[in-house]
């Protein structure tokens, strides 16, 4: 019998293969090349902020953009029905999604940061991971409740506004209050920029991830229990 640890590792491998099979890695190779060309083309004084915006709005947020497609594909292939009758835990399913998508985010972020001439790579990677976790968990919560890609796109618009707009304003100094640096999206953006975040803001960000994790696990359990439109 598989141990929980081995079961999770197998699930993580499956997610990585699934994402590769459906072109996620190829897509991000192409996007990374495009973003790299953009960074080479712009003046040096713009590179860091442009790279930060690119990292935050795409690789860090990819879980929000693609989770609908991933879950819908799993539903169409009856993968979620299979998970519903196995010893798989909802938290294993959720963490596998978070870690597998974060891996892509971190690789792309490292490449873009290197091209932009970043020196503080470690805080950038931590900020990217935290942002990726937040957006992926939000994506999972929404994806478990939808039945079409159009529904997912519409449902994630408010999350994009709440997540992206304050962070973009923050990076340009439009909002500069102390409370502004406590906002989780801004905390992630500060770290991506290589700045030291407020300790209270970092704690709030971790607390938000913990809360979203609990909601995501409950949403996944409910999805598994309602396969085929009826409650098992």
Each residue of 155-167: pLDDT tens digit?
999 999 999 999 9
Going by pLDDT thresholds of 50, 70 and 90, the confidence category of residue 230 is very low
Residue-wise pLDDT tens digits, 10-51: 889 989 998 888 888 898 899 999 999 999 999 888 888 899
pTM as predicted: 0.89
- Does residue 218 carry a pLDDT above 90? yes
Q: What is the pLDDT of residue 231?
A: 38
Q: What is the pLDDT of residue 176?
A: 65
CB 123 within 8 A of CB 52: no
Going by pLDDT thresholds of 50, 70 and 90, the confidence category of residue 181 is confident
Mean pLDDT for 105-112 is: 93
Higher-confidence residue: 13 or 174? 13
Q: What is the pLDDT of residue 229?
A: 43
CB 162 within 8 A of CB 93: no
- Pull the structure tokens for residue 150: 């159009």
Give the whole-angstrom CA distance, residue 74 versus residue 147.
12
Q: What is the pLDDT of residue 4?
A: 56
Higher-confidence residue: 225 or 167? 167
Q: What is the pLDDT of residue 227?
A: 65
Percent of the chain with pLDDT over 90: 49
Closest CA to 192 of 99, 128, 104, 103: 128
Q: Whole-number mean pLDDT of the chain? A: 87
Residue-wise pLDDT tens digits, 51-104: 999 999 888 888 888 888 888 888 888 787 777 777 888 999 999 999 999 999
- Does residue 138 carry a pLDDT above 90? yes
Burial pattern 98-113, b for ≥16 Cβ within 10 A else e, equals bbbbbbbbbebbbbbb
Sign of CA dihedral 25, 161, 182, 96: negative
Tell me the domain boundaries of the chain. Answer: 4-225
Going by pLDDT thresholds of 50, 70 and 90, the confidence category of residue 232 is very low
């Amino acid at each position: 019998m598989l141990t929980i640890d081995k079961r999770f590792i197998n699930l993580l491998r499956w997610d990585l293969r699934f994402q590769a099979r459906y072109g996620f890695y190829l897509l991000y190779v192409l996007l990374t090349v495009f973003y790299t060309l953009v960074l080479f083309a712009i003046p040096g004084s713009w590179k860091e902020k442009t790279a930060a915006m690119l990292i935050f709005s795409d690789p860090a947020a990819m879980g929000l953009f693609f989770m609908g497609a991933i879950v819908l594909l799993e539903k169409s292939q009856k993968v979620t029905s299979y998970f519903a009758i196995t010893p798989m835990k909802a938290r294993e399913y959720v963490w596998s999604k978070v870690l597998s998508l974060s891996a892509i985010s971190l690789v792309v972020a490292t490449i873009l940061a290197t091209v932009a001439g970043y020196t503080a790579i470690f805080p950038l990677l931590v900020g990217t991971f935290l942002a990726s976790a937040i957006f992926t968990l939000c994506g999972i919560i929404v994806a478990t409740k939808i039945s079409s890609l159009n529904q997912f796109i519409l449902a994630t618009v408010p999350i994009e506004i709440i997540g992206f707009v304050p962070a973009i304003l923050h990076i340009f100094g439009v909002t500069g209050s102390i409370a502004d640096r406590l906002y989780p999206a801004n905390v992630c953006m500060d770290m991506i920029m290589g700045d030291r975040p407020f300790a209270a803001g970092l704690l709030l960000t971790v607390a938000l991830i913990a809360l979203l994790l609990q909601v995501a696990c409950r949403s996944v359990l409910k999805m598994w229990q309602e396969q085929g439109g009826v409650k098992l």
